Amino acid sequence: AQSVTQLDSQVPVFEEAPVELRCNYSSSVSVYLFWYVQYPNQGLQLLLKYLSGSTLVKGINGFEAEFNKSQTSFHLRKPSVHISDTAEYFCAVTVLYKLSFGAGTTVTVRA
Amino acid sequence: EAGVTQFPSHSVIEKGQTVTLRCDPISGHDNLYWYRRVMGKEIKFLLHFVKESKQDESGMPNNRFLAERTGGTYSTLKVQPAELEDSGVYFCASSHSRGSSGNTIYFGEGSWLTVV
């Protein structure tokens, strides 16, 4: 079985500062890794995904994530956040079409 | 192209009543999923359809929940009778079958259910 751990439940950050959201996964088989974002009062939107190839994945809105197989991690980063990045972020893994989500990290960007 | 659409967006019902949630997947997507998030907890898988067939319903919490996908198009999720602990947001999602399970799963905006 696979599982996902998001190490931070809340991340406050100032505007234009960098942010890193940590995600670790466990799985006995190869997985595909995803980051989704939920803006206030909206649904889930895909930020980026890792399937294979380059371990550095670039997504929408300036986000990127790095897959580290030895550390079983898939941390999400953005070098400079905006107020509009305030949202909840979910790391997820999929095996055989089923997504398993982490508990979510709420990012609050302050001016 | 229209995304995954869900109806209703919000619903408030009394304990013991019935609620039916509807999901229209992206056109051409054979895979349809239901997930839910209750009380700020993790988003949990409920079930997976491939066309009209239930591929995996291991996440359905009990027999008060019934999902259907007649004709392999839209899907409904019925909760009967609803209990207080069923409150939460129910997400529908879809993906196409071509390729691998790394295909992007697209989510709707959710149906927010409150049972009082």
The pLDDT tens digits for A6-50 are: 999 999 999 999 999 999 998 777 778 999 999 988 889 999 999
CB contact under 8 A, A97 and B102: no
User: Does pLDDT of B92 surpass 70?
Assistant: yes
Q: What is the pLDDT of residue B110?
A: 95
CA angle (B108 as vertex; B60, B94 as ends), nearest 5: 65
Which chain B residues have a beta carbon less than 8 Å from that of A36? Answer: 107
Q: What is the pLDDT of residue A101?
A: 94
Q: What is the pLDDT of residue B98?
A: 61
Which chain A residues have a beta carbon less than 8 Å from that of B4? Answer: 43
DSSP A51-89: -SS-SEEE-GGG-EEEEETTTTEEEEEESS--GGG-EEE
Averaged pLDDT, B100-105: 74
Give the largest Cα separation in chain A, rounded: 43
Pair of tokens at residue A19: 């942010």
Q: Peptide bond before B81: cis, by omega within 30 degrees of 0?
A: yes
Q: Is B102 in contact with B80 (CB distance < 8 Å)?
A: no
User: In sequence order, what are the beta bridge partners of A32?
Assistant: A94
Averaged pLDDT, B62-90: 95
**Helices and strands per DSSP (H, E), number in chain A:** 0, 12
List of residues 6+ apart from A12 with CB closer than 8 A? A107, A108, A110
Which chain A residues have a beta carbon less than 8 Å from that of B106? Answer: 46
CB contact under 8 A, B31 and A49: no
Report the C-alpha gap between A12 and A26 in whole angstroms: 27
Averaged pLDDT, B10-29: 96
Chain A: closest CA distance from residue B16 (Å)? 27
Q: What is the pLDDT of residue A24?
A: 96
Mean pLDDT in chain B? Answer: 92
Indicate the pLDDT class of residue B18, thresholds 50, 70 and 90.
Answer: very high
Cα nearest neighbour of B6 on chain A: A43
User: Does pLDDT of A109 surpass 80?
Assistant: yes
Task: Out of A105-109, B43-47, B100-104, pick the least confident.
Answer: B100-104
CB contact under 8 A, A51 and B106: no
Nearest Cα to Cα of residue A34 among A6, A1, A70, A12:
A6
CA angle (A65 as vertex; B29, B42 as ends), nearest 5: 60
Which chain A residues have a beta carbon less than 8 Å from that of B93? Answer: 44, 99
Q: Is B92 in contact with B34 (CB distance < 8 Å)?
A: yes
Pair of tokens at residue A4: 């996902």
The pLDDT tens digits for A64-80 are: 999 998 999 999 999 99
List of residues 6+ apart from B4 with CB closer than 8 A? A43, B23, B24, B25, B26, B92, B93, B94, B106, B107, B108
